[in-house]
Amino acid sequence: MSSVVLPGAPPVNLNVVRWIGFQTIVIREYGRIIRIWGQTIVPSVVTATLYFVIFGSLIGRRVGAMGGFDYKLYIAPGLIMMSLITNSYGNVVASFFGAKFGKHVEEMLVSPLPNWVIVAGYATGGVVRGLLVGAAVTVVSLLFTHLQVQHPAVILAAGLLTSLIFALAGFLNALFAKNFDQVNWIPTFMLTPLTYFGGVFYSITLLPPWAQQVSYINPILHMVNAFRFGFLGVSDVSIGLAFALMAVAAAVLFAVAVALMNRGAGIRE
């Protein structure tokens, strides 16, 4: 049903309501990111700078070439991707859990917006922050290395899909979280280890065969390598498989988030 006539009232086009509602959530999320830029943008830029200085310039000199590239150049796409992952995730989990905690999530729940629009709005907000911070870290990386761009469409697609996946994952975390501790569990105990073992700082060809096989289970390995392929034209994994995995993961996470919202999990009595 895209349009209804309210008795005695002008017709309401529900598609227009959904579109304006979606825009409103995204604008609100963007406003939040900008309002608290010291918490949302600056930390990742500082962290990336430290990584470049310590791992890239100081330790990297002794590491030599990685995958046929200067070490700083090799880790640059991985560092951009790492900031994109943590910020997409962190934005949604903090914002949506904050809305739950402060009860202002009810502003949306009582409105005519369907749950899929709410999920899409928050996920887009996460993508916006991921891309903003990713762009800022890219600028930082240009101060340390001469970043190449081999396949810009691959970079954009991998960046968008990865950001979307982790924004949706952050939404699920926020949905289930009952306190601030639970907001931090997943990033600390799952996201950070998976990212560090996801080929950000090394090529998995350095690992023994069994460890390489284990690494293929890590979804972040596929995302980082697809992203790196866009910049450097090299990858430890199949790019086609990486994009297929990302597309399926995004679709499944979105469907699960909407289904949970429809059931009222974590938000309705």
Partner 1 sequence: MNALSVRGLTKTYRNGVQALKGVDLEVERGDFFALLGPNGAGKTTLIGIITSLVNKTAGEARVFGHDIDHELEAAKACIGIVPQELNFNMFETPYTIVVNQAGFYGIPRAVARQRAEKYLKQLQLWERRRGMSRGLSGGMKRRLMIARALVHEPRLLILDEPTAGVDIEIRRSMWEFLREINDRGTTIILTTHYLEEAESLCRNIAIINGGRIVERDGMSSLLRRLHVQTFVLNVREPLAAAPRLEGYVATVVDDHTLEIEVAKEENLNDIFARLSALGIEVLSMRNKVNRLEEIFMQLVEGRGPAGEGGRGAAAAAPAGAAGATPLRAGAPR
Interacting residues with partner 1 (CB under 8 A): 1, 4, 6-9, 12-14, 16-21, 23-25, 27-28, 31, 35, 98-99, 102-104, 106-114, 264, 268-269
**Closer of 99 and 175 to partner 1 (Cβ):** 99
Residue 47: CB minimum distance to partner 1, A? 25
Cβ closest to partner 1, residue 2 vs residue 179? 2
Instruction: Tell me the closest approach of the beta carbon of residue 10 to partner 1, in angstroms.
Output: 11
Work out how close the CB of 6 gets to partner 1 at its nearest, in angstroms, rounded to a whole number: 6
CB closer to partner 1, 111 vs 150? 111
The answer for residues whose C-beta is within 8 angstroms of residue 260's C-beta and 6 or more apart is 172, 175, 266
> Is the Cβ of residue 16 or residue 190 nearer to partner 1 in the bound state?
16
Q: How far is the CB of 258 from partner 1 (least distance, A)?
A: 14
Smallest separation (angstroms) from partner 1 to the CB of 146: 42
Cα distances (Å, whole numbers) of residue 213 to 20, 53, 190, 208, 210: 46, 31, 19, 9, 5
- Shortest distance, CB of residue 214 to partner 1, whole angstroms? 40
Nearest residue (CB) to partner 1, 36 versus 248:
36
CB nearer to partner 1: give 28 or 151: 28
Q: Output the DSSP codes for the chain.
A: --EE--TTS--EEHHHHHHHHHHHHHHHHHHHHHHTHHHHTHHHHHHHHHHIIIIIIIIHHHH-EETTEEHHHHHHHHHHHHHHHHHHHHHHHHHHHHHHHTSTTHHHHTSS--HHHHHHHHHHHHHHHHHHHHHHHHHHHHHHS----S-HHHHHHHHHHHHHHHHHHHHHHHHH--SHHHHHHHIIIIIHHHHHTTTSSS-GGGS-HHHHHHHTT-HHHHHHHHHHHHHHS--SS-HHHHHHHHHHHHHHHHHHHHHHHHHTTTT--
Nearer to partner 1, 110 or 143 (CB): 110
Rounded to an integer, what distance in angstroms lies between the CA atom of residue 1 and that of residue 213?
49
Minimum Å gap between C-beta 104 and partner 1 is 5
Residue 183 pairs in a beta bridge with none
